[in-house]
């Protein structure tokens, strides 16, 4: 890693505000700083920089980023720490940033969808052997294996009747005006689009690759910070290798993401290779949003002066979400979908629309 010619590699990790401690979870942890520091400590030429961005609100970055993307920001809270990292990189004279945005679609693909492939193709021996290895190692439950193997082959109507997540589906993650959603029958359309399951593990891998294409983000970084973004996990040779590797390689030795875990032995800390939890993006989102509730309320009133935004967005719901701010339960999925995803995306879309509304009455 550049050590031969004496060069240094600077690595950035976004972390929550000092003193933040969210609700504990078996699946996620809030602060990736310590785990990243363990990786950096393995390499003497790596300089590890923690980036904390609590002084900036998502409202502060929307106009800039919406213009850079030429479309509304998809994850406004994540734009805050992303912008902070890019700004810090430029301050350090860096012009090229590496990331691993597509890692879950290539090298660290978890492989669980392979069970549907083996189930449908009649490879019962492979299915049983890999399932036994995973369950004995405690890295997958029998229920999750059956779900991945059998569920995609069931008729959609049967899955929608028996899965509690599908039965409770709603558009609460969207702030679109309800009249438009009703007229276009968007709840039904979104329900089918978001809950379709590929019966083939290879097709699922290809779909993840298509979803992971973030060319617009790379262009935005060039325009806003004169930075080149490169993703080694999306390199053509890596992609082609992962698309042709036997699906069992992603689940070998009783491990999900086995290909990455085996490839990184000796290159990453043991704690990293054995970790089952994942880092949370913008873990302190609710603290950040609560700090700008007054600004959000004022911004809703600005949006009301835009006929275009008023027609397309449910501004009354946005106002209620701000006024009826919960005192706890921020780790719950429904609260995250309504007060985090829907609300912040509503502002992102609204501010974008105001730029193109000839009838907007201004400030």
Residue for token digits 């599908």? 166
240: in domain? yes
Count: domains in the chain: 1
pLDDT at 282: 93
334: in domain? no
Do 116 and 149 meet the contact criterion of CB atoms below 8 Å apart? yes
| Confidence category of residue 303, pLDDT binned at 50, 70, 90 | very high
pLDDT at 134: 97
pLDDT at 102: 85
Instruction: Identify the DSSP state of 229.
Output: E
Q: For the segment 161-176, what is each residue's pLDDT rounded down to a tens digit?
A: 777 777 777 888 999 9
- Cβ-based burial of 352 (10 A; exposed 0-12, middle 13-18, buried ≥19): buried
62: in domain? yes
Radius of gyration (C-alpha) of the chain in whole angstroms: 22
Q: What distance in Å separates the CA atoms of residue 288 and residue 135, rounded to the nearest whole number? A: 40
Q: For the segment 122-144, what is each residue's pLDDT rounded down to a tens digit?
A: 999 999 999 999 999 999 999 99
Q: For the segment 28-42, what is each residue's pLDDT rounded down to a tens digit?
A: 899 999 999 999 999
What is the domain range of residue 22?
Answer: 3-107+212-246+254-279
Q: What is the mean pLDDT of residues 258-265?
A: 95
290: in domain? no
Give the CATH number for residue 235. 3.40.50.620
pLDDT, averaged across the chain = 89
Backbone angles phi, psi at 109, to 5 degrees: -55, 130
Residue 345 has pLDDT above 90, yes or no: yes
If one compares 87 and 102, the residue with the highest pLDDT of the two is: 87
Do 86 and 225 meet the contact criterion of CB atoms below 8 Å apart? yes
Q: Is 165 helix (H, G, I), strand (E, B) or coil?
A: helix
Residue 334 has pLDDT above 80, yes or no: yes
User: Regarding beta strands 278-279 and 46-51, do their DSSP bridges make them parallel or antiparallel, or are they unpaired?
Assistant: unpaired
194: in domain? no
Please give the helix or strand (H or E) that residue 169 lies within, else none: none
Instruction: Identify the DSSP state of 340.
Output: I
pTM for this predicted structure: 0.89
| Token pair belonging to 314 | 């449910």
Residue 293 has pLDDT above 90, yes or no: yes
| Confidence category of residue 2, pLDDT binned at 50, 70, 90 | low
The partner residues of 228 in beta bridges, in order of sequence, read 96
Residue 3 has pLDDT above 60, yes or no: no
Q: What distance in Å separates the CA atoms of residue 43 and residue 106, rounded to the nearest whole number? A: 25
pLDDT at 219: 80
| Confidence category of residue 52, pLDDT binned at 50, 70, 90 | very high
Q: What is the mean pLDDT of residues 286-292?
A: 95
Residue 214 has pLDDT above 90, yes or no: no
307: in domain? no
315: in domain? no
Residue for token digits 């310590």? 34
Q: What distance in Å separates the CA atoms of residue 41 and residue 48, rounded to the nearest whole number? A: 9
363: in domain? no
Residue 264 has pLDDT above 70, yes or no: yes
């Amino acid at each position: 890693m550049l050590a031969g010619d004496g060069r240094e590699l600077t690595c950035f990790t976004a972390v929550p505000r000092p003193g933040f401690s969210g609700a504990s979870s078996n699946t996620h942890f809030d602060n990736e700083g310590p785990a990243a520091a363990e990786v950096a400590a393995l390499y003497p030429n790596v300089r590890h920089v923690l980036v904390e961005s609590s002084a900036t609100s998502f409202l502060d970055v929307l106009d800039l980023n919406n213009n850079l993307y030429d479309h509304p920001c998809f994850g406004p809270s994540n734009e805050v720490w992303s912008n902070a990292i890019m700004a810090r990189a430029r301050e350090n004279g860096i012009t090229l940033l590496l990331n691993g945005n597509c890692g879950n679609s290539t090298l660290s693909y978890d492989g669980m969808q392979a069970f549907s492939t083996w189930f449908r193709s009649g490879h019962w021996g492979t299915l049983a052997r890999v399932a036994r290895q995973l369950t004995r190692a405690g890295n997958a439950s029998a229920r999750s294996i059956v779900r991945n193997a059998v569920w995609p082959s069931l008729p959609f109507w049967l899955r929608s009747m028996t899965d509690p997540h599908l039965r409770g589906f709603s558009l609460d993650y969207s702030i679109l005006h309800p009249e438009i959603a009703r007229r276009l029958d968007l709840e039904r359309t979104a329900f089918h689009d978001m809950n379709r399951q590929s019966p083939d593990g290879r097709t699922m891998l290809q779909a993840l690759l298509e979803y992971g294409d973030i060319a617009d983000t790379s262009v935005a970084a060039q325009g806003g910070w004169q930075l080149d973004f490169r993703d080694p996990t999306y390199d053509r040779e890596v992609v082609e290798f992962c698309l042709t590797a036997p699906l069992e390689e992603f689940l070998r030795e009783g491990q999900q993401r086995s290909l990455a875990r085996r490839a990184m032995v000796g290159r990453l800390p043991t704690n990293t290779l054995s970790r089952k939890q994942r880092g949370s993006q913008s873990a302190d989102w609710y603290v950040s949003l609560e700090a700008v509730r007054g600004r959000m309320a004022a911004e809703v009133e600005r949006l009301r002066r835009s006929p275009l935004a008023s027609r397309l967005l449910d501004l009354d719901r946005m106002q209620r979400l701000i006024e009826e701010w919960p005192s706890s339960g921020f780790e719950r999925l429904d609260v995250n979908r309504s007060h985090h995803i829907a609300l912040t995306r509503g502002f992102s879309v609204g501010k974008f629309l105001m730029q193109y509304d000839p009838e907007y009455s201004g400030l």
